Structures are given as C-alpha cells and as structure tokens.
Amino acid sequence: MRFTEFNFHSNLLEGIEASNYENATPVQEQVIPPIMAGKDVIASAQTGTGKTAAFLLPVMNGLLTNHVDGKVGALIIVPTRELAIQISQHMEGLSYFSHLSSIAIYGGTDAQSFVAEKKALQMGADIIVCTPGRMIAHLNMGYVNMKGLQYLVLDEADRMLDMGFQDDINKILQA
C-alpha cells in the first residue's frame, strides 16, 4: 500500500517523501487505518519492521488535522533514553514540513533540560516522548497538564513491564 492512499495531511506526506518512504510496511498497513479511525491498537512487531512510524504517522496526522495549541497532544512512553532519542530523531525527519513541536524527556540530563521539560509539560507540546522515571519526577511536582491529551502510546510495553515500570506506568496513566 502506498502512503498516498492513507489520506494523510499534505505536510506529513511531504515529510514521508523526504524520508524516502514509498510503500507502507505490513505493520504500518495494519495499524495506521484503525489508529486514524480513533481505535485503540495493540501491535507486536520486531525492530526493523517500521513499527515506530506505524504509530508516529497516524498520531502526527491526527495532531496536524486537529491541532490544539497549548496542550500536550500525544504522550509516548518508552523504556529507555536511547529509544526516546531515537523516536525524537525519527519524528524530526517525518515532521520536517509539519511544524509539530516535540520534546524527549528522560533522566540524567542537566537543570536546563529539566526547565525546558517542565515548560513543555505545563504549556503544551504536540508530542512528548518520555521515560517513566523522569515523567514521574515531573508528575510529583504537580504541574503536569494532560487535559488535552489525544494519543497515548506505550512503546515496547513488554520490555517496560520486564524492567519493573508497571507502577510508574499506572501512575502516569492515572494522571
């Protein structure tokens, strides 16, 4: 299936073309339409099969077509800082023509990063990619505003459970 068949926003299609993607991979073909239809999806696919774009593209498309300023539009929870950085970079390429704001929030960074993260969680950012521990640190400070959240993604959910993040994830889901 070609990406032009998904009815994506034109700015997103430009980003897809610039990333040199032509055809959707099997996992993308299966999960993009139900996510675009507003359904909850559980998908299992190995690394290298295009699973990141399988959730990023419909989420980005939804936020482009139903843009709300000053809110966190999508929260993507991931097990490691490496994955958070990788997803952010992936998104930068795809959103080159879209002007969607995003930030990766993970532990081990300096005070300046913490301030930027706090601002995004308070004032909004289209897409936030976070590790559970760092998100909990922000939640405990009481300023996180998730009232406009449209999408929630648990990436590598099995690995997060293996790493003992269940309680943290439940706290984030409650928030």
Instruction: Tell me: does residue 47 bind ligand AMP (CB under 6 A).
Output: yes
Identity at 158, one-letter amino acid code: D
CB of 51 to ligand AMP, least distance (A): 5
Among 43, 50, 139, 171, binds ligand AMP (CB under 6 A): 50
Nearer to ligand AMP, 43 or 152 (CB): 43
Nearer to ligand AMP, 43 or 116 (CB): 43
Among 35, 53, 100, 153, binds ligand AMP (CB under 6 A): 53
Instruction: Tell me: does residue 24 bind ligand AMP (CB under 6 A).
Output: yes
CB of 57 to ligand AMP, least distance (A): 9
Residue range at the interface with ligand AMP (CB under 6 A); choices 22-30, 62-70, 120-128, 159-167: 22-30
Compute the chain's Rg from CA coordinates: 16
Residue range at the interface with ligand AMP (CB under 6 A); choices 49-57, 97-105, 109-117, 163-171: 49-57
**Interacting positions 104-133 with ligand AMP (CB under 6 A):** none
Instruction: Tell me: does residue 6 bind ligand AMP (CB under 6 A).
Output: no
Give residue for tokens 């993607």: 21
Among 2, 37, 48, 66, binds ligand AMP (CB under 6 A): 48
3-state secondary structure the chain: CEHHHHCCCHHHHHHHHHCCCCECCHHHHHHHHHHHCCCCCCCCCCCCCCHHHHHHHHHHHHHHHCCCCCCEEEEEECCCHHHHHHHHHHHHHHCCCCCCCEEEECCCCCHHHHHHHHHHHHHCEEEEEECHHHHHHHHCCCCCCCCCCCEEEECCHHHHHHCCCHHHHHHHHHC
Interaction site with ligand AMP (CB under 6 A): 21, 24-25, 28, 47-53
